[in-house]
Amino acid sequence: MQPAMLLTHLSLTNFRNFIRLETDLPAGQTLLVGANAQGKTSLLEAIHFLTAGSSPHSPSDRNLINLLALKEQRPFARIVAEISRKDRAHTIEIRLILETIGANGEKRLRKEVLINGIKRRLRDLTGVFNSILFFPQDMLILEGSPGKRRRHLNETISQVDPAYAEALAEYGKVLTQRNALLKQLQERRAERRQLTFWNERLAEQAAILIRSRALGLSELEKLADRIHSELSRGKETLRLKYVPAFHRAAEAGQQFDLPFAGEMDWTTQTHQVLKNKILETFHNTQSEEIARGITLSGPHRDDFYFIMNDMDLRIYGSRGQNRTAMLSLMLAEVEWLHQCAGEWPVLLLDEVLAELDATRREDLLRRIGSVNQTILTAADMDMFNDSFRQRATIWQIRAGTITAFGNRE
C-alpha cells in the first residue's frame, strides 16, 4: 500500500446523536448503511472535524454538542482519533466545552485541541490528518454563491499550504482596517493619503492569495479534467476558470457560453506584477470605494467557474453533469493532497451515488478504489455493484450505534 493517513480508531462522546461511540476503522472502503436520521452524515462530519477543527456545515460548534448533553451542568462533546501516518501514529483530541461565564448565565464555547496528548492551537491541526469531505449540499459550491466557492478553495489550499492560511488571516485583518478607513473617508473624518499604507499592505497579502489560487486551481484543473473525462467516458472536458475580482470588471458582459478569447493565464504572473495590478485597481476605483465606504475588489470577491465543454455548468449543467464535476474536483483534491503531502488523505463521501447514472456510478466506485481509506454512506445498498460489495467493509448504523452489516444488534 502507498503511504496514507489512516484513521484507525474513533471515539465520540456527545457528538450530535452519538452519546458514546467507540470504533476501530479498517483501511480500504467502508460503506455505512442506514435509514434516515441514524447518524451517517454526523459520523463523517465528526471525522472531518479532525482536519481543521471546524465543520463547514454547522453554523456554530454549539450545534455539534448532543442536545441532551446540553442540559447538563457543563455540556461538552469530544472527538478522539488515532491516526496512522507513514512516520508514526498520532492522537488527536478535540473538546467542545460550553462554559457559563459571569453571573447572568451567559454561555461561551471553548474549543480545546490536543495533539499526541499536548494542548495545541487550533491551527496546529493543519496537516496532521488530511481529509476531503463531500456532502450532498456541497453541490452549492458549484451552483451557489461565490462565497461558497471561495470558502471551499480556501479550505483546500490551506490543507496543502499553511502559509496560505496565514496570508488569508492577515488579509482579513488588513481588509477590516482598510474598510474602517474608507468609512471614515466617506464621512470626511480622515485623509486620503492614509490609504497608501493600507493599500500597500492589502495588495501584498492579496497577491499571495491570488497567486496561490491561480496555481492551485491550475493543478486541480489538470487532475479534475482527467478524472471528469474518465467519469464521463471521454464525453466531457472540465475546466476551472479563475477570475480574480480585480480583473472581473474587464470581463463583465462576456457570455460564458462563448469560447474564451484572450483570457489571462494567472499562473504566469509574478507576485510583483500582481501586486502592481491590484494597486492600480485601488488607484482607479478610489473615488468609488470612498463613496461606498468599502473595499470593492480583491480576493474576498474572487470567483471561479466550472466550464464543461466550453459551457458554464452553473448556467447550463444538468444535475448529473454538475455532480460529476463536483466529484471530479473532490477526487482531484485527494490526488493533489497526496502529491503535496506524500500521503493519501481520507475520503469521506456522503450519499454520492444519487443522481449519477449506472455507468458514472460504476466508474466512480472503481476510481475510489485507488484511495487508501474511503468512508461512504448510503440509505441502502441498491446502487452498489457486486464487485464493490465484495471488497468493501459494510456497516449498519442505527440510532448512533454501528454494527456489522447483517447483524441484528
User: Which ranges constitute the DSSP H helices of 129-194?
Assistant: 139-143, 146-160, 162-186
Closest separation between CB of residue 40 and Mg ion, Å?
5
Angle of helix 195-231 versus helix 358-367 axis, rounded to 10: 110
* Segment contacting ligand ATP by CB under 6 A, of 30-38, 98-106, 153-161, 364-372: 30-38
Angle of helix 40-52 versus helix 146-160 axis, rounded to 10: 60
158 binds Mg ion (CB under 5 A): no
Q: Tell me whether residue 67 or residue 315 sits nearer to ligand ATP (CB atom).
A: 67
Q: Tell me whether residue 109 or residue 379 sits nearer to ligand ATP (CB atom).
A: 379
> Quick one: 328 exposed, middle or buried, by C-beta within 10 A (0-12, 13-18, 19+)?
buried
DSSP 345: P
**Residues 7, 390 contacting (CB under 8 angstroms):** no
116: left (phi over 0), alpha (psi -120 to 50) or beta: left
Contacts with ligand ATP, 43-72, as mask; x by CB under 6 A? --------------------x-xxx-----
Bridging pattern class, strands 28-33 and 393-398:
parallel
42 binds ligand ATP (CB under 6 A): yes
Closest separation between CB of residue 93 and ligand ATP, Å?
19
Q: Cα(186)–Cα(122) distance, rounded to whole angstroms?
A: 38
What's the length of the chain?
409
Closest separation between CB of residue 7 and Mg ion, Å?
19
Contacts with ligand ATP, 373-392, as mask; x by CB under 6 A? ------x-------------
259: left (phi over 0), alpha (psi -120 to 50) or beta: beta
Q: Tell me whether residue 35 or residue 358 sits nearer to Mg ion (CB atom).
A: 35
Closest separation between CB of residue 354 and Mg ion, Å?
11
396 binds ligand ATP (CB under 6 A): no
Q: Tell me whether residue 40 or residue 275 sits nearer to Mg ion (CB atom).
A: 40
140: three-class secondary structure by DSSP: helix
Site for Mg ion in 38-57 (CB under 5 A): 40-41
In the list Mg ion, ligand ATP, none, the entry touching 354 (Cβ below 5 to 8 angstroms by class) is none
Place of cell 467557474: 305
- How many residues bind to ligand ATP according to rule CB under 6 A? 15
Out of 36, 60, 104, 268, the residue judged to bind ligand ATP by CB under 6 A: 36
Place of cell 472527538: 79
In the list Mg ion, ligand ATP, none, the entry touching 199 (Cβ below 5 to 8 angstroms by class) is none
Out of 21, 31, 40, 220, the residue judged to bind ligand ATP by CB under 6 A: 40
What is the contact surface with Mg ion in residues (CB under 5 A)?
40-41
